[in-house]
């Protein structure tokens, strides 16, 4: 029985590297690149009822290396909304440039990927933030040109979205601040 030699190489990941060739032998499922936007400032944004609205500062751009790769988009939103019952009739989804990525249209139903999932006191719209994670696998991009993904929402209720803060944002230990992000991971198809 012959033993093969093991070869070990290291790459200094503190340097910037750009992939310009083709992946051979990598097979499906290999991570090719990760791009992300982590947003730690606080802001507010007006939301119009029954309108698909991109969330300000939660977008990420990626240039796929292959047309058949899969882009996994993930986001986490820390927020509070000025309408008390907003969680009951709100969906979150992604926009690939201007194309909505969500469940298929279904009559008059509001469609999306997720909803704000960790609200504890939905009737308290001054000091109890909500948050939610949204994940989508985009296998239909079919391009090697730059794509920009946006986290977006649609709600029955018009109001103000307070990102990374509570509505009142009072300087006490009962008013939280947080961090939101969006990321795009290219996976070999």
Backbone torsions φ then ψ of 62, nearest 5 degrees: -145, 145
Lowest mean pLDDT of 36-50, 61-75, 76-90, 171-185, name the range. 76-90
CATH code of domain 31-187: 2.60.120.1340
Tell me, what's the pLDDT at 3? 45
Q: What angle do CA 64, 111, 105 make, to 5 degrees?
A: 85
Tell me, what's the pLDDT at 132? 85
What SS3 string covers 126-165? CCCCEEEEEEEEECCCCCCCCEEEEEEEEECCCEEEEECE
Domain borders along the chain are 31-187
Query: What's the average model confidence in pLDDT over 156-175?
Result: 90
Tell me, what's the pLDDT at 15? 52
Lowest mean pLDDT of 14-18, 106-110, 185-189, name the range. 14-18
- Which pairing describes strands 180-187 and 70-81: parallel, antiparallel, or unpaired? antiparallel
pLDDT tens readout for residues 114-144: 877 655 445 566 777 888 899 999 999 999 9
Tell me, what's the pLDDT at 22? 46
Q: What angle do CA 120, 58, 36 make, to 5 degrees?
A: 110
Tell me, what's the pLDDT at 8? 40
Secondary structure (DSSP) of 24-38: -S--TT-EEEEEEEE
pLDDT tens readout for residues 14-66: 455 444 444 445 567 899 999 999 999 999 999 999 999 999 999 999 999 99
Please name every residue paired with 43 in a beta bridge, in sequence order, or none if there are none: 163
Of 21, 35, 112, the closest CA to residue 66 belongs to 21
């Amino acid at each position: 029985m012959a033993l093969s030699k093991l070869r070990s190489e290291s790459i200094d990941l503190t340097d910037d590297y750009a992939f310009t060739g083709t992946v051979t032998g990598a097979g499906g499922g290999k991570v090719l690149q990760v791009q992300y936007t982590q947003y730690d400032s606080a802001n507010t944004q007006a939301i119009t009822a029954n309108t698909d609205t991109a969330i300000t500062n939660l977008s990420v751009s990626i240039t796929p290396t292959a047309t058949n790769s899969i882009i996994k988009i993930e986001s986490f939103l820390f927020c509070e909304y000025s309408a008390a019952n907003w969680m009951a009739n709100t969906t979150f989804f992604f926009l690939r440039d201007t194309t909505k990525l969500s469940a298929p249209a279904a009559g008059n139903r509001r469609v999306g990927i997720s909803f704000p999932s960790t609200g504890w006191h939905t009737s308290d719209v001054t000091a109890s933030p909500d948050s939610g994670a949204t994940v989508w696998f985009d296998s239909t991009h079919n391009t090697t040109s730059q794509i920009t993904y946006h986290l977006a929402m649609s709600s029955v209720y018009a109001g103000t979205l307070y990102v990374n803060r509570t509505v009142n944002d009072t300087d006490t230990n009962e008013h939280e601040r947080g961090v939101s992000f969006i990321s795009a991971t290219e996976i070999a198809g």
